């Protein structure tokens, strides 16, 4: 039942810590590290600067850290840090949720944890519960919500952020209900912002809305009984075809959040399976006569730009990215994607050998390709991002990405912090994000 | 054309002051006075206290006044003052807009005007343009938007607040476009909050969103080209049957805002035509045998509670309110509506003589009634709120309402302030709202 969602979210926020599986906590710690890395890497992006300077100009009690420097009230810090960490669009993705869990929820959890001086481990647990809430609600809202034009990262994310903060503030059942019903009137975010500063800002508003709603509920704010599944609630107003069978029933035994995927390349997630497949062949571009890709047809509208004109457009170009892999370029470093890349004649020559076809039999996390060599061999290879990676492979990939984005020294400091999370406070996490 | 809306809103924000009709400015001044009155009357409501205390706890640069006391950053002040002024639900209504213009827009205009030390007259002009924007956009979103569950006061209101602040900050055309496209991803508000603290909060979020969006645009925030009427913009995502013929074409020659209606009774607006009709007869309850009301059928689901149990329910009871008029009760003072009212045997006896019938030939601003006297006479009378009131009648009504809500001394001070608006600054308006 749809209206069951509210009860499940309340139960999630109040789940005993002992019920959290170690495997899910491990992934949540990976997400914390990856979120810190992409946040620090995005700190000087124009949109991050604009929001940080606006919040700094408001002033206020500096209880929570701003990525890139400074302190602010928790609501403002969540707005800044959500925006900064999504600025590069390099953060984690949950394909079932149709959204980015960390950038909406981690900033809310961290800001409030700093304010109340909670432990870093409490941030991880609150994030995990909030992320699970956003994934489940995102699935309930369904693909129709996304297709209509809503950005699940922001909409479902606001409810997840509320769950995370409710957890940290130890709200009672009635308070948690009020917080979730209240955020239903605040949650927003449109896909028409994609390609603009509005996309990362959407993550910031989700985080900020969660901080606000849970704090107001703690102060006695009364909202309606079920602002999510009730009459004219969030689902009725925002989802044309909600999934009444969204899998709430296996909670808390299974955390779907564990299916989250990390980006190891600084380009559109729809191209990553192709990149991994090509890398697995380990062939030099000079020996390649043709590359024939097959992908789920939905990606053809997203990341099949044939002749990119800018570095940003390269991030959405199968042909160019395939050429980069064949040429040995570092696809993990954001700085690789300068505008000169689109004018590189060597890459253009390699890209001209790539064809892309839609294949509805492939899921949207999979790519199959045939590589034809100059000496006439045909090599067939496929990759599906949905296949779970071994923990060690995730750790290796995240660490390499961090090195590429931040350099080894800063990456190492952040890694050490998260590796010893049990010994640290939320405020130490915040200090690392401030760069102090 | 729907996508024309963005251009019209930009043009409104940048309209030369000389184009503003005196008649519209006069109504806007009435709205400022009425807004200050209902805001001050609502300052101690629980929801107003909760939001004020939350914003005060955040601290920050105190550039804008809080109704009831204190200063805060403009974004926070707008949140507090929007909420406080809608707490009693006694503020102005625009039936075409399907919303309350002042509570969403005045707080945004005032907070920013205080911050930049603008004149009180500049607040009135910015409000007027913002209110007109919200009315036009509310009409474009149409009744379908409202019926789906969205609260135009909050949704269309956020765009109006953005127009008002863009005006005060003197944004250029491109900046104004970015501000409006940005607020499209922030604008929210659900009717499922009605009857809870969430309803007045919706006005606060509209005002706060407007302050934020216009300020961020001024700082260089880039959003999409048309977040309102463009693909997956606010209209496409939030309105099932937008009105493509919404009357944008007569701008700036006609200000539909002038049709705004003030509440002169502290009860549901759907009962006001009945109250005015009954008052026009000026008959003592002892001489009344029966009152037969006819109203638009939509009101039967809203304000026809037959046996109210609380003072709040009396506000939605034709029978009880008719009894109050016949008994000479002060329907203007909010304090009249205590819970004891619902248990008054004299009112119960009078209410028992009232019948209510739906009549689809009546507009939703009209009531027709037949009054049968104990000596057998039949008196027929009707009232339509849509009929324009003479300026003097509005002034008299607003002043009497202010006296009933705040007492003559405070009401007189606010009246004098608005009467001499050309001599005052926005900060003087703010000081009056703080109670200092």
pLDDT at residue B150, rounded to an integer: 97
> What CA–CA distance (Å, rounded) separates B63 from A11?
41
Instruction: Tell me the nearest-neighbour CA distance from A276 into chain B, angstroms.
Output: 33
* Residue A198 with chain B: CB contacts under 8 Å: 181-182, 185, 223-224, 227
Interchain proximity A220–B75, CB inside 8 Å:
no
In chain B, what are the domain boundaries? Answer: 4-261+392-434, 269-384
CATH code for the domain defined by B269-384: 3.30.1330.120
**Residue B184 contacts A where some CB pair is shorter than 8 Å:** yes
Residue pLDDT, tens place only, B273-288? 999 999 999 899 999 9
Interface test with A, best of B186, B208, B229 (most A CBs within 10 A): B186
User: Cβ contacts (< 8 Å) between B148 and chain A: which residues?
Assistant: 232, 236-237
Q: Which of residues 119-178 of B touch A (CB under 8 A)?
A: 148-151, 154
What's the pLDDT score for residue A2?
Answer: 54
Strand partners, B354: B291
Instruction: Give residue for tokens 């989802």.
Output: A239
Give the pair of three-digit tokens for residue A404: 């590429």
User: pLDDT band at residue B1, thresholds of 50, 70 and 90?
Assistant: very low
The answer to whether B251 and B12 are in contact (CB under 8 A) is yes
* Percent share of chain B, pLDDT over 70: 98
Secondary structure letter of residue A100 according to DSSP: -
Nearest partner of B237 among B126, B153, B155, judged by Cα: B155
Give the tens place of pLDDT for each residue, B75-99. 999 999 999 999 999 999 998 898 9
User: Phi/psi of residue B356, each to 5°?
Assistant: -130, 130
Judged by a CB distance cut-off of 8 A, whether residue B374 touches chain A is no
pLDDT digits (tens, 9 = 90+) for A50-63: 999 999 999 999 99
pLDDT level of residue B301 (50, 70, 90 thresholds): confident
Place of tokens 């629980």: B46
Residues 6+ apart with CB under 8 A from B429: B32, B36, B65, B110, B114, B120, B123, B417
CA A104 distance to own-chain centroid: 8
Best mutation target, B180, B224, B240, to test chain A (most A CBs within 10 A): B224
Chain B touched by A202 (CB under 8 Å): yes
CA distance, residue A186 to nearest chain B CA (Å): 6
Question: Mind telling me how many Å the CA of B342 is from chain A's nearest CA?
Answer: 24
Region B165-169 average pLDDT: 98
pTM of the model: 0.95
List of chain A residues whose C-beta atoms are within 8 Å of the C-beta of residue B58 = 60-61, 73, 75-76
Q: Report CA-CA distances (Å) from A171 to A56, A177, A286, B69.
A: 29, 9, 62, 29
Q: A195 touching B, CB under 8 A? A: yes
**What is this model's ipTM?**
0.95
The alpha carbon of residue A392 is apart from the nearest alpha carbon of chain B, in Å, by: 39
Q: What is the largest CA-CA distance in chain B?
A: 74
B-chain residues within 8 Å CB-CB of A57?
A: 61
Residue A220 with chain B: CB contacts under 8 Å? 46, 50
Backbone angles phi, psi at B57, to 5 degrees: -70, -30
Q: Give the tokens for residue B345.
A: 């045997």
B188 to A188: CB separation less than 8 angstroms, yes or no: yes
pLDDT of residue B302: 86
Closest Cα in chain A, distance from residue B76 (Å): 9
Per residue in B115-136, pLDDT tens?
999 999 999 999 999 999 999 9
Residue A27 structure tokens: 């992934």
What does residue B126 show for φ and ψ, rounded to 5 degrees?
A: -65, -40
Min distance A50 CA to chain B CA atoms (Å): 6
CB contact under 8 A, B232 and A191: yes
Q: Which of B160, B79, B175 is CA-nearest to residue B127? A: B160
Size of interface A-B (CB pairs under 8 A): 167
Contact between B61 and A57 using a beta-carbon 8 Å cutoff: yes
- Tell me how close the Cα of B428 comes to any Cα of chain A, in angstroms: 22
Find chain B residues with C-beta within 8 A of A112's C-beta.
none
Interchain pair A154, B76: CB under 8 A: no
Contact state of A231 with B201 under an 8 Å Cβ cutoff: no
Residue A196 touches chain B, beta carbons under 8 Å: yes
Average of per-residue pLDDT across B153-181: 98
pLDDT at residue number A1: 42
DSSP secondary structure letter of residue A320 = H
E-only strand ranges, A9-148:
64-65, 71-72
For residue B107, pLDDT beyond 70: yes
Residue of A nearest to B147 (CA): A232
Q: Which of A255, A211, A238 is nearest to A63 (CA)?
A: A211
Do the chains contact at B190 and A232, CB–CB below 8 Å?
yes
Which pLDDT belongs to residue A3? Answer: 59
**Residue in chain B nearest A198 by alpha carbon:** B223
In this complex, is the C-beta atom of A56 within 8 Å of any C-beta atom belonging to chain B? Answer: no
- Name the residue facing A61 among B59, B232, B237 (closest C-beta): B59
- Asked if CATH classification 1.10.4100.10 holds for the domain at A4-261+392-434, the reply, yes or no, is yes
Instruction: Pick the residue of A186, A191, A195, A206 with the most B CBs within 10 A to test the interface with B by mutation.
Output: A186
Annotate chain B with three-state secondary structure: CCCHHHHHHHHHHCCCHHHCCHHHHHHHHHHHHHHHHHHHHCCCCHHHHHHHHHHHHHCCCCCEECCCCCEECHHHHHHHHHHHHHCCCCCCEECCCCECHHHHHHHHHHHHHHHHCCEHHHHHHHHHHHHHHHHHHHHHHHHHHHHHCECHHHHHHHHHHHHHHHHHCCCCHHHHHHHHHHHCCCCCCEHHHCCCCHHHHHHHHHHHHHHHHHHHHHCCCCCCCCCCCCCCCHHHHHCCCCCCCCCCCCCCCCCHHHHCECCCCCCCHHHHHHHHHHHHHCCCHHHEEEEEEEECHHHHHCCECCCCCCHHHHCCEHHHHHHHHHCCCCCCCHHHCCHHHHHCHHHHHHHCCEEEEECCCCCCCEEEEEEEECCCCEEEEEEECCCCCCHHHHHHHHHHHHHHHHCHHHHHHHHHHHHCHHHCEHHHHHHHHHCC
Q: Could you give the CA distance from residue A133 to residue A163 in angstroms, rounded to a whole number? A: 7
**Cross-chain residue pair A185–B196, CB shorter than 8 Å:** no
Quote the minimal CA–CA distance from B81 to chain A in Å. Answer: 16
Whether residue A76 lies within 8 A of chain B, CB to CB, comes out as yes
Q: In this structure, what token pair is assigned to residue B180?
A: 């409006």
To the nearest whole angstrom, how far is the Cα of A405 from the nearest Cα of chain B?
25
pLDDT band at B2 (very low <50, low <70, confident <90, very high): low
φ and ψ at residue B113, rounded to 5 degrees: -65, -40
Q: Pick the closest to residue B8 from B278, B203, B247, B204 (CA basis).
A: B247
Q: pLDDT digit of tens for each residue in chain A (436 aa)?
A: 455 789 999 999 999 999 999 999 999 999 999 999 999 999 999 999 999 999 999 999 999 999 999 999 999 999 999 999 999 999 999 988 989 999 999 999 999 999 999 999 999 999 999 999 999 999 999 999 999 999 999 999 999 999 999 999 999 999 999 999 999 999 999 999 998 999 999 999 999 999 999 999 999 999 999 999 999 999 999 999 898 766 677 888 899 999 999 999 999 999 999 999 999 998 999 999 999 999 999 899 889 999 999 998 999 999 999 999 999 999 999 999 999 999 999 999 999 999 999 999 999 899 999 999 999 999 999 999 999 999 999 999 999 999 999 999 999 999 999 999 999 999 999 999 999 6
B residues 264-283 lying closer than 8 A (beta carbon) to A: none
């Amino acid at each position: 039942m749809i209206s069951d969602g509210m009860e499940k979210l309340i139960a999630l926020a109040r789940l005993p810590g002992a019920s959290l599986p170690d495997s899910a906590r491990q992934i949540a710690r990976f997400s914390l590290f990856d979120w810190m890395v992409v946040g620090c890497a995005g700190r000087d992006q124009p949109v991050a600067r604009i929001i940080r300077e606006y919040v700094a100009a408001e002033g206020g009690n500096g209880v929570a850290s701003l990525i890139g420097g400074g302190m602010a009230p928790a609501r403002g810090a969540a707005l800044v840090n959500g925006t900064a960490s999504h600025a590069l669009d390099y953060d984690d993705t949950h394909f079932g949720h149709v959204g980015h869990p960390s950038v909406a929820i981690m900033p809310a959890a961290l800001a409030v944890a700093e304010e109340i001086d909670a432990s870093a481990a409490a941030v991880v647990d609150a994030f995990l519960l909030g992320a699970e809430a956003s994934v489940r609600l995102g699935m309930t809202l369904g693909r129709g919500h996304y297709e209509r034009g809503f950005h699940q990262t922001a909409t479902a994310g606001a409810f997840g952020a509320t769950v995370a903060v409710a957890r940290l503030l130890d709200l009672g059942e009635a308070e948690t209900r009020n917080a979730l019903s209240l955020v239903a009137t605040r949650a927003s975010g449109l896909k028409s912002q994609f390609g603009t500063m509005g996309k990362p800002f959407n993550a910031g508003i989700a985080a900020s809305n969660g901080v606000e709603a849970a704090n107001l509920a703690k102060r006695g704010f009364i909202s309606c009984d079920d602002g999510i599944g009730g009459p004219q609630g969030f689902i009725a107003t925002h989802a044309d075809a909600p999934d009444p069978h969204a899998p709430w029933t296996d909670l808390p035994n299974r955390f779907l959040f564990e299916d989250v995927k990390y980006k190891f390349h600084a380009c559109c997630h729809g191209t990553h399976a192709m990149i991994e497949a090509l890398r697995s062949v380990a062939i030099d571009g000079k020996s390649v006569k043709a590359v024939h890709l097959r992908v789920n047809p939905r990606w053809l509208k997203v990341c099949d730009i044939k002749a990119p004109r800018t570095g940003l457009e390269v991030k959405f170009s199968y042909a160019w990215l395939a050429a980069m892999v064949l040429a040995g370029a570092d696809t993990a470093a954001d700085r690789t994607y300068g505008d000169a890349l689109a004018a590189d004649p060597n890459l253009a020559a390699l890209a001209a050998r790539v064809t892309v076809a839609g294949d509805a039999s492939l899921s949207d996390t999979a790519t199959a390709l045939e590589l034809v060599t100059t000496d006439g061999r045909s090599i067939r290879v496929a990759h599906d991002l949905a296949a779970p990676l071994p923990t060690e492979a995730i750790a290796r990939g995240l660490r390499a990405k961090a090195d590429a984005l931040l350099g080894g020294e800063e990456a190492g400091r952040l890694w050490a912090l998260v590796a010893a999370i049990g010994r640290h406070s939320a405020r130490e996490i915040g200090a690392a994000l401030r760069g102090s």
